[in-house]
Amino acid sequence: MPFIESTSAQSITTITLNRPEKLNAFAGTMREELIAALHAAAADSTCRVVVITGAGRGFCAGGDVEYMSGLQKNGEVAAFRKLLDAGREVVMSIAAMEKPVIASVNGVAAGAGCNLALACDYRIAADAAKFSESFVKIGMHPDWGGHGSSDAVARWNC
């Protein structure tokens, strides 16, 4: 099962984070798959708007802490750096998008998931949506533009 699903209909490209059993927390190749989906939508002349959402009951719980902890325990510094770089590239791809990008937030948006939603031009939130800059709870510095120094901040509409 792909972690990122992209569908197009009526000039709308919907990119779905598809790891519902973990509230769509980023692990493995999800970031790279999301980057590829964003680039494909940007290049698609029939696409007029991009919607990012999550499968199941969550938008995105951020980075999969178990996965990142495993990288740390195994001393995989390069792999961890790759995760951070990919997060930056996601945010910058959204910022560079010449089409509006909408976050359709159906549940929890925490950590990188919250910042993914903030990077979008617009956010539509369900009643069940919850936003959390949860980095502080695990002693991490915000990434995905959450610290406010990203060029994408100028595009945030909140």
Per-residue pLDDT of 21-51, as tens digits, reads 999 999 888 999 999 999 999 999 999 999 9
Structure tokens at 107: 């549940």
* pLDDT above 60: residue 158: no
In the chain, the percentage of residues whose pLDDT exceeds 70 is 84
Least confident range from 72-81, 99-108, 113-122: namely 72-81
* pLDDT above 80: residue 153: no
CA distance 50 to 52: 7
pLDDT of residue 41: 98
Least confident range from 71-75, 121-125, 141-145: namely 141-145
Mean pLDDT of all residues in 127-156 = 59
CA distance 4 to 114: 17
* pLDDT above 60: residue 144: no
DSSP-derived letter for residue 62 is -
Q: What is the pLDDT of residues 43-81, one digit of tens each?
A: 999 999 999 999 999 999 988 888 877 888 888 888 878
DSSP-derived letter for residue 148 is S
